[in-house]
A and B are shown apart, each in its own frame.
Chain A
Amino acid sequence: MSTALYVQLLNLVAGAFLLTAVLILWRRELTAIIDVFALQGAALATLVGIIAVAQGSAELGAVALGVLFLRAGLLPWMLRRAAVAAGATQRETRPLVNVVSSLLAAAALTLLAYAVSQPLVELAPSPSTHAIPVGMAVVLIGFFILVTRRLALSQLVGFLLLDNGITAVGFLTATGVGLIVELGVSLDVLLVVLVLQVLKTRMREAFGATDLDELRELHD
Chain B
Amino acid sequence: MNAPSLFGTVGVILQLLIVVALSPVLTGLMRQIRALLEGRAGSGIAQPWRDLRKLMRKQRTSPRGTTEVFRVAPLLLVATCLVVTAVAPFVTTASALDPVADLFAVVALLTLGTVALALAGLDTGTAFGGMGASRETTIIALVEPTMLVAIFALSVPVGSTNLAAIVTSGLDDPAQVFSPVSLLAAVALIVVIIAETGRLPVDNPSTHLELTMVHEAMVLEYSGPDLAMVELASSMRLTVFLGLLANLFVPWGIATSASPLLIAVGVLAFVVKVAFLGGCLAVGEVFLAKLRLFRVPELLAGSFVLGLLAVAASFFLA
Contact = CB atoms under 8 A, between A and B. Distances in A.
Interface of A: 4, 8, 11-12, 14-16, 18-19, 22, 26, 99-100, 103-104, 106-107, 110-111, 114, 121, 130-131, 133-134
7 contacts: A8-B178, A16-B183, A19-B306, A22-B309, A110-B309, A130-B318, A131-B316
Nearest to A15: B180
A50 to B, nearest CB: 13
B40 to A, nearest CB: 31
A15 B184 contact: yes
B178 A12 contact: yes
B306 A15 contact: no
B302 A11 contact: no
Nearest to A133: B316
Interface string B281-314: 0000000000000000110011011101100110
A11 B316 CA distance: 10
Contact of A14 (B175, B305, B317): B317
Residue of B184, B304, B316 contacting most chain A CB atoms (<10 Å)? B316
Contact of A18 (B298, B301, B304, B309): B309
Given A22-B309, A26-B302, A103-B305, A114 B180 contact: no
B62 interface: no
The 8 closest A-B pairs by CB, nearest first: A15-B180, A100-B301, A107-B308, A103-B305, A107-B305, A11-B317, A133-B316, A103-B301
Contact of B297 (A11, A100, A133): A100
B309 A12 contact: no
A19 B305 CA distance: 10
Contacts of B181: 15
Contacts of A106: 305
B312 A114 contact: yes
Nearest to A98: B298
Given A8-B179, A11-B180, A104 B317 contact: no
Contacts of B309: 18-19, 22, 107, 110
Contacts of A130: 316-318
A99 B102 CA distance: 34
Given A14-B180, A104-B304, A107-B304, 20 more contacts: A8-B175, A11-B179, A11-B317, A12-B183, A14-B317, A18-B180, A19-B180, A100-B297, A100-B301, A103-B298, A106-B305, A107-B308, A110-B308, A114-B312, A114-B315, A130-B318, A131-B317, A133-B312, A133-B316, A134-B317
A12 B302 CA distance: 20
A119 to B, nearest CB: 13
Given A110-B312, A130-B318, A99 B180 contact: no
B298 A100 contact: yes
A157 B250 CA distance: 36
Contacts of A15: 179-181, 183-184, 313, 317
A8 B183 CA distance: 12
B179 to A, nearest CB: 6
Contacts of B308: 107, 110
B178 A104 contact: no
A14 B313 CA distance: 10
Nearest to A10: B317
A98 to B, nearest CB: 8
Contacts of B316: 114, 121, 130-131, 133-134
A14 B312 CA distance: 13
Contacts of A110: 308-309, 312
Contacts of A26: 302
Interface string B201-217: 00000000000000000
A49 B297 CA distance: 38
B281 to A, nearest CB: 21
A92 to B, nearest CB: 13
Contacts of B317: 11, 14-15, 130-131, 134
Residue of A11, A14, A22, A110 contacting most chain B CB atoms (<10 Å)? A11
